[in-house]
């Protein structure tokens, strides 16, 4: 994970993607959103990922790795 702060209330897909060191692509993030693996809120056309979920995602690295691995196998 890079230096981006984990104290935000919501993250855009771009901000969420920036938290990874090329481990996951934006298209994988959008697929995970589409399948419900990543919860979102929408404001207009903007997709927002709740900060509480992002922090939980990164606090459980095994779960995060398994979700990414599962998504890669589906692709």
- For 36-65, what is each residue's pLDDT tens digit? 989 999 999 999 999 989 988 888 766 666
**Within 10 A of 22 (CB to CB), how many other CB atoms are there?**
7
pLDDT band at 74 (very low <50, low <70, confident <90, very high): low
Degrees to nearest 5, angle at CA 48 with 45 and 49: 155
- For 19-35, what is each residue's pLDDT tens digit? 887 788 999 999 999 99
pLDDT at 68: 62
Cβ-contact 9, 49 below 8 angstroms: no
């Amino acid at each position: 994970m890079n230096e981006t702060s984990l104290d935000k209330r919501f993250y855009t897909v771009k901000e969420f993607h920036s938290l990874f060191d090329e481990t996951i692509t934006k298209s994988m993030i959008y697929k995970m959103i589409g399948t419900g693996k990543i919860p979102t809120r929408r404001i207009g056309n903007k997709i927002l990922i709740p900060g509480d979920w992002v922090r939980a995602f990164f606090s459980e690295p095994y779960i995060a790795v398994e979700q990414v691995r599962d998504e890669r196998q589906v692709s």
